[in-house]
């Protein structure tokens, strides 16, 4: 299934040519003739440029074919290039760079130069002579996360998947079911709707009595076997990809029976805080500015928040810069960026340890526009009330 998924990205050759043109424009602006992408999987560079998750590095010259260096085991598979100008090789050969640099130029642009292997660097010096490393990652991030028409189509398909999955919550999330069993069904249903591949981020969190600190298992360890009961609350976290591989996100609280006054108060504030952040998602504003102003807004309303990264773009992986708590957080936003927003409202519980707290948040995705962030889903922002 993973091999099949890698080949079904639904992008046209023209879309890949557009992406390479975006990268080359940034290269031109920074005065580099060659781009070397290292660690391209985490932020989705490998899929965005070469339609394959596996490359150890990607080499994009100012002109000519893109080269993806892959493991021999990958090269032995039948790879169907998404574009005729993508070349796959099994070893990093510094000679590949020499033939692709302009005469007399020794400025090479990198994404994640901090992970350049010593033997690769030594080989480059031997083949090219002294050269300058230019980190163009943040500049390229700010350009590539502006979504094209084809990418917006993929986003729309992913949003439909998330809406269908959240609409199924009353049938899947029921009293008497273990948390782990529900999470397994959410993942299975998402895959049936067209999600899949490398990363599926679907689970329940914050479960337990709605006026007690919630269970904060994040789906990365074995669930404690908790079985949902009348009066419980549970956060349904949907962050996955849709047909074609583009990510989206949607998160809501569900409550068995009538929501308590405290539960409703904190949820309503979470929705207000998200709307306040979203209205500031305009071109020219940085996510740091959005966070700082929203932080003051939340405290001015008598609540507290945390410093979680709740503003970042989405693509073929779950995180794309610019995002909070990163050097890119001061980069001005651009129209057409696709952003997740979920400011957290901290909730404490009388009668329990004052140090015990959890966060309440509404999770949605937005497009950056001149009028502010436009939500990509029409799914209700009310608490989901489930029968006991």
For 128-154, the pLDDT digits (tens) are 888 999 999 999 999 999 999 999 999
Query: 224 pLDDT band (50/70/90 cuts)?
Result: low
> Hey, is 303 helix, strand or coil?
coil
Start-end of CATH 3.40.350.10 domains in the chain: 2-144
| Rounded average pLDDT over 58-77 | 88
Name the residue with higher pLDDT: 225 or 154.
154
Give the separation between CA 331 and CA 374, rounded to whole angstroms: 20
| Rounded average pLDDT over 292-306 | 97
Q: Is the pLDDT of residue 6 over 80?
A: no
Q: Is the pLDDT of residue 334 over 50?
A: yes
Q: Is the pLDDT of residue 218 over 90?
A: no
pLDDT in tens, 83-95: 999 999 998 988 8
What's the mean pLDDT when you consider all of the chain?
90
Give the separation between CA 20 and CA 162, rounded to whole angstroms: 30
For the chain, give the percent of residues with pLDDT over 90: 70
| pLDDT, position 197 | 62
243: Cβ contacts below 8 Å, ≥ 6 apart:
10, 154, 157, 158, 161, 194, 195
| Rounded average pLDDT over 376-385 | 96
> Hey, is 229 helix, strand or coil?
coil
Start-end of CATH 3.90.230.10 domains in the chain: 149-386
| Rounded average pLDDT over 49-63 | 90
| pLDDT, position 3 | 44
pTM of this structure: 0.91
292 HSE (CA, 13 A, CB side) = 8
Concatenated DSSP letters of 364-388: EEEE--TTS-EES-----S-EEE--
| pLDDT, position 199 | 60
Determine whether domain 149-386 maps to CATH 3.90.230.10. Answer: yes
Q: Is the pLDDT of residue 4 over 80?
A: no
Torsion (CA) 276, 312, 367, 242 in degrees, nearest 10: -130
Q: Which CATH architecture has domain 2-144?
A: 3-Layer(aba) Sandwich (3.40)
> Cα–Cα distances in Å, from 248 out to 178, 335, 371, 374?
26, 18, 21, 14
């Amino acid at each position: 299934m993973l091999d099949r998924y890698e080949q079904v990205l639904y992008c046209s050759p023209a879309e890949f040519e557009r992406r390479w043109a975006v990268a080359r424009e940034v290269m031109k602006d920074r005065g580099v003739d060659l781009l070397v992408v290292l660690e391209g999987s985490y932020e989705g560079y490998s899929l965005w440029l070469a339609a394959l998750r596996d490359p150890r590095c990607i080499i994009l010259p100012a002109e000519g074919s893109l080269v993806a260096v892959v493991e021999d085991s990958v090269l032995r598979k039948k790879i169907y290039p998404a574009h005729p100008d993508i070349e796959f090789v099994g070893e990093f050969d510094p000679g590949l760079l020499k033939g692709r640099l302009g005469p007399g130029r020794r400025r090479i642009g990198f994404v994640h130069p901090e992970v350049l292997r010593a033997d690769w660097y030594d080989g480059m010096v031997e083949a090219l002579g002294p050269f300058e490393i230019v980190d163009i990652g943040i500049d390229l991030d700010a350009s590539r996360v502006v979504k094209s028409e084809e990418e917006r189509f993929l986003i729309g398909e992913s949003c439909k998947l998330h809406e269908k999955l959240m609409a199924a919550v009353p049938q899947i999330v029921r009293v008497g079911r273990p948390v782990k069993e529900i999470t397994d069904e959410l993942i299975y249903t998402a895959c049936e709707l067209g999600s899949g591949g490398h990363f599926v981020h679907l689970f329940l969190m914050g479960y337990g009595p709605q006026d007690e600190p919630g269970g904060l298992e994040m789906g990365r360890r074995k669930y404690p076997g908790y079985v949902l009961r009348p009066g419980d609350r549970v956060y349904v976290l949907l962050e996955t990809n849709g047909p074609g591989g583009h990510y989206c996100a949607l998160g809501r609280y569900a409550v068995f029976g009538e929501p308590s006054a405290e539960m409703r108060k904190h949820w309503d504030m979470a929705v207000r805080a998200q709307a306040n952040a979203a209205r500031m998602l305009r071109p020219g504003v940085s996510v740091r500015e959005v966070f700082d102003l929203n932080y003051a807004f939340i405290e001015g309303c008598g609540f507290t928040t945390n410093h979680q990264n709740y503003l970042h773009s989405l693509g073929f992986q779950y995180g794309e810069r610019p995002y909070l708590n990163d050097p890119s957080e001061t980069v001005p936003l651009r129209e057409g960026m696709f952003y997740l927003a979920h400011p957290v409202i901290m909730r404490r519980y009388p009668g329990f340890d004052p140090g015990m707290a959890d966060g309440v948040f509404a999770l949605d995705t937005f497009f950056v526009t001149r009028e502010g962030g436009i939500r990509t889903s029409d799914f209700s922002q009310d608490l989901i009330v489930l029968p006991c």
